[in-house]
Structure 1
């Protein structure tokens, strides 16, 4: 594994106001960062293009994952400010029915686990369109969403979910605490990877939660990402990727003790971290030790354990391209399903254009009539698949396999098949 020697100050800002390449680990400050996977350069994964933008220049940024030799935090350089992506955002959580159901089950279990009731207060950071807090509202529990994207926050408020438009940091958390009081539970699902200031964000979580309260964080598990070649979940919105070991260090840096961990299936394999403020006297559960042991056995508590990931990703790319080229040579039609951020990493890294995947579809009307960043593949309504009856449907949000296999069962009516590209290429017959 190669080592990148970096010098200079962290977070240099260029003349355009963008944050430049990191020169040291953003968590511990160490300057020895080892290369894990270099995916070349690609545009921000959620900046979908309008037709008018097709003739305009499109910026791309390096997509190079490295791991710190000291604290083992896997990270991307903070080349893009969160404000560039999240002020107006294309992702609405509620368009995934399975994700909404996952949130509902979480609210029910957390309510039981923590004894939440009418006198409790729940805060969710990066609350999106109210997909989770709508269940808290329905349970009669006071809550507040903190969502930086203006358009997505408006959708949450339209559902009756109280939401403020803010990026979380210690100062923001202090203002919210002063206005609304401390929270019994702070939820941060699929956001802990999205913030370049790990320390400031974690301190913000600590500021929001009561001294005897709880913080629950869901984030993709680096162990499953590497074991299952899930390279497409590496994109510029994700500034870091966590093992339980590195997450434990990050939480402690902000004043939180890791108390429990759950393995959950979302996003191809995630960890749900339960943390409490320093001083509660909580002892980590056996589950924490068990997951740490699994990570250690996989070699992820040492930089050498990351060395083979790049070769596995290359093989996955070759496999997918060989299939698409053969399908094109045989005159078969391939279209995509979904336009998720992970799909755009895959499309750009593999160099897939409309000659190999004619178009993709998405349930989110915001994306209709737009084009995927970099690869410029048209995004159409879902109904286009039934109209065109393609031979193959490439499922880009493969992490929703069960949900989408059921939704797309009609593809089998004309003999069409689904293609899942990760972790290994799999062609599936459905509905027959």
Structure 2
């Protein structure tokens, strides 16, 4: 990658190089274990002109999302987060809501319950089918300006357009934003949730860097990206989701930014993220997290302790591959998603079982890979204490808890 995908500048500086890994959601079936597995460089760089952090577009969204292994509704806390958003969205009986990358209907199901007209636009056929099974109208498409215009012509302009955890997944940032603008009414609103680069770097969340995330946003770079597609950033809400996210509120009409948005811009500047100096220590801190986790796993193995994983998220696969963790250090992991059962994590080839396996085996330690769901999972895994087992959280720094 030699030029910035947002502003076209050739001034890109390295932030952290995580080596080469497979695409994080391509879980392997048993009959594919002896087949070649492609890997791609995973090197985060930042543009010194517009400060968009980005990885090279080495895989396409079509390769990742035509059939997808991630179903949002398997996270209880995420469904509840979506319900609270819908409750506070100020929807009227005659409102029209469109969600882009609507997944399995985790959010729009709450809109349907209210009797409000809605439409999901979801590129993955398998998870879109799950949404339709819930009664959520869902179109199987990747958003583009043409698709946005077609939906607007067929259904009318949307009062609210939602795009949660997708704005980082699209290499054509400006084209995708133009698609959002085509969907939304001239007096409507667009809500975008995306991980905040400030939190990612402050809390060493390098495992959220993977190939399907093409870019990582500050408020400053998101504001520029939205403007490139005809939307104006007016407000930003900090959120605890995914380890630290921001909800960007944008609209076609220009308006002053709120004070809390300006405050977040000031925090970014104070952290050095509007200049190169703020990025130069991140690689060293990532190396420390890697060494600490490996040291713990090796010591546990030498002491004859059993260690298994909980969860098989995309971020977990970045962690496993960058750290070089294999089944000799992590016997298996479990996941609530039946799609992943009997499969193996990409690269590391860790087997994935149903969650009940943990209670059956009673391991000494459970390494929690979706650490961002800590509050939810500490409660779900409280039974591990019955046999003296302990939970291990690798991010932001290694922590072993009873």
Q: Give the 5 Å matches for 1:33-432.
A: 33-111=12-90, 116-277=91-252, 280-429=253-402
d(CA) in 2 for partners of 1:180, 1:331: 61
2:234 touches 2:257 (CA, 8 Å); kept in 1?
A: yes
State the distance in 1 between where 2:369 and 2:250 align: 33
Q: Is the 8 A contact 1:153 1:163 kept in 2?
A: yes
Q: Deviation string for 1:31-54 (max 9, x for gaps)?
A: 110000000000000000000000
Contact 2:232-2:254 within 8 A present in 1 as well: no
Per-residue deviation at 1:288? 1.1
The offset of 1:81, in angstroms, is 0.6
Query: What is the deviation of 1:23?
Result: 2.5
2:289·2:397 contact (CA, 8 Å) conserved in 1?
yes
| 1:208-234 Cα shifts (integer Å, max 9, x gaps) | 000000000000000000000000000
2-side partners of 1:206 and 1:304: how far apart? Answer: 35
- Aligned equivalents of 2:156 and 2:132: distance in 1? 20
Q: Which runs of 5+ in 2 are unaligned?
A: none
Deviation track 1:96-152 (CA, whole Å, cap 9, x = no partner) reads: 0000000000111112xxxx2121100000000000000011111100000000000
Could you list the per-position Cα deviations for residues 56-80 of structure 1 after superposition, in whole angstroms to 9, with x for gaps in the alignment? 0000000000000100000000000
Report SS of the residue matched to 1:187.
strand
Q: Take 1:329 and 1:54, find their aligned partners in 2: how far apart are those partners?
A: 28
Output the CA distance in 1 between the equivalents of 2:176 and 2:10: 22
Give distance in 1, aligned partners of 2:206 and 2:134. Answer: 35
Taking the aligned partners of 2:304 and 2:155, their CA distance within structure 1 comes to 61
Task: State the aligned residue count.
Answer: 402
Contact 1:337 1:393 in 2 (8 A): yes
For residues 292 and 30 of structure 1, the distance between their equivalents in structure 2, rounded to whole angstroms, comes to: 22
The answer on whether the counterparts of 1:117 and 1:140 sit within 8 Å (CA) in structure 2 is: no
How far apart, CA to CA, are the structure 2 residues paired with 1:281 and 1:362?
45
Is contact 1:63-1:236 (8 Å) kept?
Answer: yes
> What secondary structure, in the 3-state scheme, does the structure 1 residue paired with 2:88 have?
helix
Report the secondary structure of 1:55's partner residue.
coil
Distance of 2:287 and 2:255 partners within structure 1 = 44
TM-score (norm 2): 1.00
Deviations 1:339-370 (A, max 9, x none): 00000000000000000000000000000000
Q: C-alpha displacement at 1:281, in angstroms?
A: 4.2
CA distance in 2, matches of 1:289, 1:128: 32
- Aligned to 1:355, what secondary structure does the other structure show? coil
Query: Distance between the aligned counterparts of 2:276 and 2:110, measured in 1?
Result: 41
SS of structure 2 residue aligned to 1:35? strand
Q: Is the 8 A contact 1:93 1:129 kept in 2?
A: yes
Unmatched 5+ stretches in structure 1: 1-21
* CA distances 1:320-340 after superposition (whole Å, capped 9, x unpaired): 000000000000000000000
Q: d(CA) in 2 for partners of 1:34 and 1:106?
A: 37
